[in-house]
Chains A and B, each alone.
Chain A
Amino acid sequence: MFSNQRTVLSNYANEQVHQLRRLHRDFPTRVEYPRHTEFRSAIYDIERVKIFSTLKSQNVNFDKEVYRANNMIQFVKYLDDYYLGAKYLFIEIDEDENWYANTMTEILTLGAITLTILALFGLFFVNLFLRPMKTSMTLLDNFIKDTTHELNTPISAILANIEMMDRECMLDKNKKKLDRINIAAKTVSHLYHDLTYLVLDTKRKSNDEWIDLKKLIEDRVDYFTLLAGAKKVTFTMDLNYSTIYIDGVKIARVIDNLISNAIKYNKRRGVISIKLRKSHFIIKDSGIGIESEKVNDIFERYTRFNSSEGGFGIGLNIVKSIIDEYALNIDVKSVLGEGTTIRVDFSQGVVEDV
């Protein structure tokens, strides 16, 4: 802070030392203490007793080289030769307000530049460290994007042909095989819809309309019945009539993913309870549950809590993005080993008059 002033003060001190040397040599023939218009000075002996002073501020500090005192700047020089018995020479100048303002500006400017440089370095290193993670996520996204297009046609063909097959003339053995194909195709279809939504549909303009939630849930449960049946999972439903103003594709993705997870992470012969009321619905499973400290992480993309089950870990991430987009509320309660309850509150989304 005083670096510029220190040079000036040091020069004054050297000049004063030179004059003290001459006065010491001529003393006591000459006894006038050297005075200057540019600065004031004082000399103190080694016992810190004042010998002579022309300072305005007598509160000298022996332990600091340069310091401010009562709107003045004082500088102390330690003498090697004790001219007139002086060990300490103090030089005092008036503080220049402009200098103080300039110095503060310089400090702030330098501080800002330093912080900027540090921030840039920080950003560079963070990017450097995150690059492998970003690369792997980009690779996964690109892979999904590239393969998604190619999945639609074969899946649709499989599902359409399964529906068209005449089950009446089939042997029971073949019916079971057909059901397995149907389940597998629906699983892939579900995954396909998630991927499509995630990669291709997120930029699509929403087409909001009134959706009959009771009907939608019944349709989706019907769609997943075969899948649930494979694990002997049963549905119990308590549905009241309710509507929500939302994009049909998006609310379907929410319900599909919640039901799909309830099946996927359920126990064999488990139960899925679905309750629908005017402003909320609850999907409860009797599955493996999630540790309480991990509940908040379930909406993170690519997070999977059980690697034995398939999937990319994107379903609940899609759910959360839709919930956030429509300012709905989702509440997850889970007990490890007992099951998970997910409640979606859409009271804010109810606009009957629209």
Chain B
Amino acid sequence: MYKKLLLVIVLMSGLVAEKTKRDIYEDNCRACHTNVFPLEKLYMLYLKRYSGEQTFKASLKAFLKKPLEETSVMTDKWIKDFSVKGRTQLTDKELDEAIDIYWNLYDVRKKLK
């Protein structure tokens, strides 16, 4: 009985932790990018410039921590109209978790048929 309870607690805590990560991504990324510039489009823009998972993640993290016109993947017109986004307030750990979710969500290797 206790074992079952413990198992349920462990699973629940896992789900909670996953939901928390998901919340970071949903609240800090998806909230703004839903209509303005869809994240899946942005993903493909990033992928076209930065090949490879590690390169992609490292470049995106560097940009989010220190957004610059030079490192932005957006067009000049876009930047002129909307300017470069603000610096992220997330910690490194939160940023890594959000980027992992982002990468996995649109990973072309999993989607290609």
Contact = CB atoms under 8 A, between A and B. Distances in A.
Interface of A: 24, 27-28, 31-33, 45-47, 49-52, 81-87
Classify chain B's interface size. 10 to 19
16 contacts: A27-B108, A27-B111, A28-B111, A31-B111, A46-B52, A47-B51, A47-B55, A51-B108, A51-B112, A52-B109, A52-B112, A81-B48, A82-B47, A82-B50, A85-B50, A85-B51
B26 interface: no
Interface of B: 40, 44, 47-56, 106, 108-109, 111-113
Nearest to B109: A51
A57 B48 CA distance: 27
Contacts, number: 58
B36 to A, nearest CB: 19
A83 B49 CA distance: 9
A45 B51 contact: yes
A47 B109 CA distance: 14
Contacts of A32: 112-113
A85 B111 contact: no
A33 B51 CA distance: 18
Contact of A84 (B47, B49, B50): B47
Chain B CB within 10 Å — which of A50, A84, A87 has the most? A84
Given A52-B108, A85-B47, 5 more contacts: A32-B112, A45-B52, A49-B53, A82-B51, A86-B51
Contact of B52 (A24, A33, A87): A87
